[in-house]
Amino acid sequence: MVNGISAAIGLVAVLSGLGGSAHAATPSASDIENKTAAIERVLQGEMTARGIPGAQISIVQRGKVVFTGAYGQANVEAATPVTKQTVFGINSISKAVTGVAAMQLVEAGKLDLDRPAVTYVDSLPESWKEVTVRQLLTHTSGLPEIVDDNVRAIDGAEPAAAWAKVQELPLNFPPGTRFSYTQTNYVLMGKVIEKITGRSFSDFVRERQFNVAGMKQTGFAQPAGTQPQVASLYTYMTLLMKGMKTVGVERSKDLLPRQEVMLEYVYPTGGVQSTSTDLAEWVLALQKLKLVSKGSLEQLSKPLTLKDGTSRGFNASVNAYGLGWPSMQRPAHPAITLIGGERAAVFIYPEDDLSIIVLTNLMGAAPQKFIDKIAAIYIPGLNVENK
């Protein structure tokens, strides 16, 4: 496993334009044509194998967008094609946006990551008063869950009632002792940002990130049908729930429409909608230090460390987590791995000056499992696991 700090520094070098590949030769027309064919072969093959109705892809290399594509259907029933303007939900990639918003406030001297969250939101219960902002951002707080795996509020409650209810529950573990991915962390992080700025989370992020980066199609959750360019969401799975957790999955041979309701209080945890080209502009804005400084980029990508000195992530592959920025720490070609809803992914390869964005409208598409195959077209010697 590569050292987490050195990987973070590598990311800073690439995002701030210090990568060693800046003077690489301009690719020839035939090379571009070959890469295009290879990318489309991989992506369309995965769409067929996984039953993905529609997808977008954008690739950033050496400070430029080198590839964009739109494939399949945004709405199957209406046979509406995906275009480069089609908007997709990006679910938990929103947490990476929230992390950037937090670091903007740190840079402004308005937020201290190691102060208790109650410093900024003073109405929290006694049992939450030692939880720090950093622990919220790294999912090491121990806070109980406010939504279930279907993004339904606890006990089916309205936002205010759900927020009151979750504060009555005990902590799952002492803060800083474990990693547990919990949406409550980012619901509270949104409240911290709103208290500090005196503005809605969506307004602050829109002004400080989307507008600065030129993300003209990006906004916050609007259901398909209420906004023409939002892709409809589909699934082949029905979750079997026990309480707030998934205990099983029923699979269908047929594509099932899936309604996804994102209320404003969960915007910081999963409410952003965007396009692959807009997210490419977000990556470029980070590269050009338009959003945060080099030091903040290092903070965002640096893997968390628990009190026992170990790091944790989602699984053996995505095995580390920073300030809303998960990553693959591995001996060769480590990657920052922003993943959302098993349907969207942004991979940044710090040592290779490469970023790949894939958005789909299928819950369960899991693009994080095949992005390495696309990256291997640009990175000779990348060992693609059989996923």
Per-residue pLDDT of the chain (387 residues; tens, 9 = 90+): 334 434 443 455 545 443 444 445 567 777 878 999 999 999 999 999 999 999 999 999 999 999 999 999 999 999 999 999 999 999 999 999 999 999 999 999 999 999 999 999 999 999 999 999 999 999 999 999 998 665 567 776 788 899 999 999 999 999 999 999 999 999 999 999 999 999 999 999 999 999 999 999 999 987 666 677 999 999 987 665 565 565 566 677 788 888 777 789 999 999 999 999 999 999 999 999 999 999 999 999 999 888 888 888 999 999 999 999 999 999 999 999 999 999 999 999 999 999 999 999 999 999 999 999 999 999 998 988 655
Give the integer Cα–Cα distance in Å for 368 and 360: 11
Q: How many domains does the chain have?
A: 1
Q: Read off the tokens for 287.
A: 């590269």
- Domain membership flag for residue 1: no
Residue 352 lies in a domain: yes
Tokens describing residue 200? 């809605």
Q: Is residue 9 part of a domain?
A: no
Asked if residue 15 is part of any domain, the answer here is no
CA distance 9 to 17: 12
Q: Is residue 280 part of a domain?
A: yes
Tokens of 22: 């800046």
Name the nearest CA neighbour of 98 among 272, 293, 336.
Answer: 272
Q: Are strands 219-220 and 245-257 parallel, antiparallel or unpaired?
A: unpaired
Domain presence at residue 145: yes
Q: Is residue 382 part of a domain?
A: no
Cα–Cα separations (whole angstroms), residue 213 to 207, 282, 285, 349:
10, 6, 5, 20
The answer to whether residue 134 sits within a structural domain is yes
**In terms of residue numbers, what domain contains 315?**
47-376
Q: Residue 223 is part of a domain; what is its CATH number?
A: 3.40.710.10
